[in-house]
Structure 1
């Protein structure tokens, strides 16, 4: 298995900040003036840059959250109404803008090699909701609000939201949310399985970091291999998947971290892992 390299310098971001801790990091959107809209800002570029860097680091987890009142409002409605930015030009030009714009984010998040936690501090609607759904885990608070709201504007989830949402909550519930465009408050989101945990807003980031720290303490190779297996399992037949699991498991058995984990378990002590 490939070994994550030692963390290089964190990327320079434009509309987001990045705080690096011990084997995990926190990516925070810093455009509360537009409720952290993903279009009309540099946030898509920042997300892609942060994930690309994290993929090649020794991190075990990346938390994504928003500064201010919202997680992300998705597309910039004013730009949409004025036919500006990625919403301007011919149909072919708009198609290309989606492929080179917001869909870059979808691909980057899907191909993240480490666990992603969305700490949903406020409204996550449209593409902001889809971004949260793309993450492995979502933690919310009383201010969290969700909505697959594209239909309300006469458009569809152009970022691939229809692909992600039904894998999270099932086809029937995803259809209802998509066709109605309604908003979902925090408690219902927890009941629907959109949220793993629902905590007080004052404890949101602490809860996300506590979970990230539990991931950070695990053997890096096995953690990233487990993430890849979770993704592969969504699209492979069982027999093919079991063959793949056997090969990955054999590599894990030969890792130094496996030996460290075994010794720690037998001796009832904690272990420190090198990623080897």
Structure 2
């Protein structure tokens, strides 16, 4: 009898530089980057992260995903040694893997401290929320290696902060500290480094208070509306809201307001 092994099983036979933590009682899954001291991300790790995000998206027990790091740095960037032997086709697929948090239907939080460079920054930009501290430094420094950001970094950043600031970051390889990232709208929240874990817990708790179906619909709608005109976006919003319409939900809400 021939035993067929799914490619994902081979890919995930040993996680490369990260681990996954999950407690069913919390409805939260943590992806923890753990390759000391800088948590450099290899090419295989990017592919593994994609498969893990896809698996967590399918797991109904998981409602919120957090990506964080062990140690003082989120990630110093990518391990470029793997690029020497890689084909152009494999390199071009890296953007698809790093975009996995954005495609995931569930809320994804990036807890960023210390260095958040290169692919570490790109991975964080693909998340829905970024928490930064006074130790956080964001950078897309591929220009120093004669390359460009290749996993969605410049494209996502341009949507967030505009062309001028993106040129400043990419073309000058500028490092953006946490407070500035928050002022520019790159970071969702800015907290003291000692409060990063508690702030992450608090955000997870807030997200868990909402309907999973509504959260998934909101994320997909907001992602899709980035590339549409205002009129089409309004039309899309109306259709999505109509599909979510449930009179019982409104009735329960009115009853709760009446009790208050």
| TM-score over 0.5 (shorter chain) | yes
Distance across 1 between alignment mates of 2:230 and 2:114: 39
- Does structure 2 retain, via aligned residues, the 8 Å contact 1:150–1:156? yes
Distance across 2 between alignment mates of 1:115 and 1:242: 22
Q: CA deviation at 1:257?
A: 5.2
Q: CA deviation at 1:225?
A: 0.5
- Does structure 2 retain, via aligned residues, the 8 Å contact 1:62–1:115? yes
The aligned counterpart of 1:98 is: 91
The aligned counterpart of 1:38 is: 41
- Does structure 1 retain, via aligned residues, the 8 Å contact 2:112–2:131? yes
TM-score by length of structure 2 reads 0.85
Distance across 2 between alignment mates of 1:43 and 1:246: 39
Distance across 2 between alignment mates of 1:155 and 1:166: 18
Tell me whether 1:63 sits opposite 2:66 in the alignment. Answer: yes
TM-score by length of structure 1 reads 0.80
Distance across 2 between alignment mates of 1:255 and 1:36: 48
The aligned counterpart of 1:26 is: 30
The aligned counterpart of 1:16 is: 18
Select the structure with the greater relative contact order (CA < 8 A; seq sep ≥ 6). 1
Residues 134/37 of structure 1: CA separation in 2 closer, same or farther (3 Å cut): same
Gaps (5+ residues) in structure 1?
A: 1-10, 80-84, 269-276
- Does structure 2 retain, via aligned residues, the 8 Å contact 1:133–1:168? no
Distance across 2 between alignment mates of 1:116 and 1:86: 28
- Does structure 1 retain, via aligned residues, the 8 Å contact 2:100–2:126? no
The RMSD of aligned alpha carbons is 2.2
Residues 242/184 of structure 1: CA separation in 2 closer, same or farther (3 Å cut): closer
Aligned pair partner of 1:127 in 119, 140, 163: 119
Kindly tell me the number of residue pairs found equivalent between the two proteins: 245
Secondary structure of the equivalent of 1:117? Answer: strand
- Does structure 1 retain, via aligned residues, the 8 Å contact 2:66–2:108? yes
The aligned counterpart of 2:6 is: none
Q: CA deviation at 1:75?
A: 1.6
Gaps (5+ residues) in structure 2?
A: 1-11
The aligned counterpart of 1:49 is: 51
Distance across 2 between alignment mates of 1:253 and 1:226: 13
Secondary structure of the equivalent of 1:72? Answer: coil
Distance across 1 between alignment mates of 2:147 and 2:70: 27
Distance across 2 between alignment mates of 1:72 and 1:49: 20
Distance across 2 between alignment mates of 1:263 and 1:20: 35
Secondary structure of the equivalent of 2:99? Answer: helix
Distance across 1 between alignment mates of 2:178 and 2:103: 27
> Which range moves more in the overlay, 217-226 or 133-142?
133-142
- Does structure 2 retain, via aligned residues, the 8 Å contact 1:219–1:257? no
What are the Cα deviations for residues 39-90 of structure 1, in whole angstroms up to 9, with x where unaligned? 25x431342133112221333321111111211122214x1xxxxx23325x
Q: CA deviation at 1:188?
A: 2.0
- Does structure 1 retain, via aligned residues, the 8 Å contact 2:76–2:116? yes
The aligned counterpart of 1:86 is: 83
Secondary structure of the equivalent of 1:73? Answer: coil
Residues 192/247 of structure 1: CA separation in 2 closer, same or farther (3 Å cut): closer
Q: CA deviation at 1:187?
A: 2.2
